Amino acid sequence: MGHVPVFLHDLTFDELRDLLVADGLRPVHVKAVWNALHFRAETDLTARFDWVPPLRRWVAEKVTPEGGYRLDHLAVASHIPSGDGLTQKFLLRLQDGQEIETVIMGYTGRHTVCVSTQAGCAMGCVFCATGQMGFVRHLRPGEIVGQVLHAQRILRARGERLRNIVLMGMGEPLHNYAHVMKALDLISDTRGCNIGPSKISVSTVGVVPGILRLAEENRPYNLAISLHGSTEEERAALIPANQRWPLSELIAACRTYGEKTGRRIFFAWTLIAGVNDTPDHAQRVVALLQGLDAHLNLIPLNETAGYSGRESAEKAGDVFQQIILAAGIPCTVRQRRGIDVAAGCGQLKAEKNRPRREQPVLT
């Protein structure tokens, strides 16, 4: 059997330093390599002719397929800009040929990247194209970091900068907890990407053990919960994971999270005509969120081929929002981006190169 490659973007600063020292280099050289990988987002270390000879030799010998060290430079399989020019959807190819989607969204004065954490998803939400695709495998930390670095390269080339990261692409972040948290530690490191934790949002369909672990570890990232249903039956029909982690347990976990961290929780509600968009639904949402430091984001359904539901009428959404606001709960309608190129919430899906699936192991 061949050796397992080491992906340098998987490593923390200390792990990278230890690797260099084990290879006979001085610890001081870690700063140059880390800067190239995570701050400059370079894709080819052999181009660094300014490095000292021992470091250049290390790159020539080790950072090669034969040497066993590799970078997570994700190849662009396709790039589709939206008609309004504000959104760019990238299909990025991983080392094993699997493909994931990453979306750069432009807003006034800022840019956000929507990052995938898995190839496919095991949660099976009925209105989500990724859920309809099924689960293929978890992403490594470097594959998550690599998407952010890709977005930074794209934006820097235009004289713009990345401000926010949302883990709302393909996959359930809390199903891939350890790799996701390591990736976020790497991304928020002030010596590298330096995206502050307050600018990073982790979205979940309600993986209760993961939410409780976030609270226990006091992770500094924003937490976003996909709610979508106001009763157990209603939510289970949309989100099969509700059978594993019922709505009552989810809300209890949110209360524990709020008490332990003191942080606001952002809830997402996809408005589906005749399914969850009536005043009665809104009143039940108010009852669920009462006493929580909560913010509700309303998302008009982005239609997908695998789900017959339709977007709510604008008036129904307005009434829904007013009921939430009248109860004293902040509530906004999320700006839609990239719908024309299937880059909106719930629309991400990779069609090709699906290798044998890993068996999903739920927390």
Among all residues, which ones are annotated catalytic? Answer: 101, 345
Helix axis angle for 314-326 and 279-289, nearest 10°, is 30
**Residue 121 near residue 128, CB atoms below 8 Å:** yes
Q: Report the number of secondary-structure helices (H) and strands (E) in the chain.
A: 11, 14
Task: Count the Cβ atoms, other than its own, within 10 Å of residue 77.
Answer: 17
For the chain, what percentages of helix, strand and coil (3-state, to nearest 5) are there?
40, 20, 40
End-to-end CA distance of the chain: 31
Q: Is 228 exposed, middle or buried (0-12, 13-18, 19+ CB in 10 A)?
A: buried
301: left (phi over 0), alpha (psi -120 to 50) or beta: beta
Rg of the chain, C-alpha, whole Å: 21
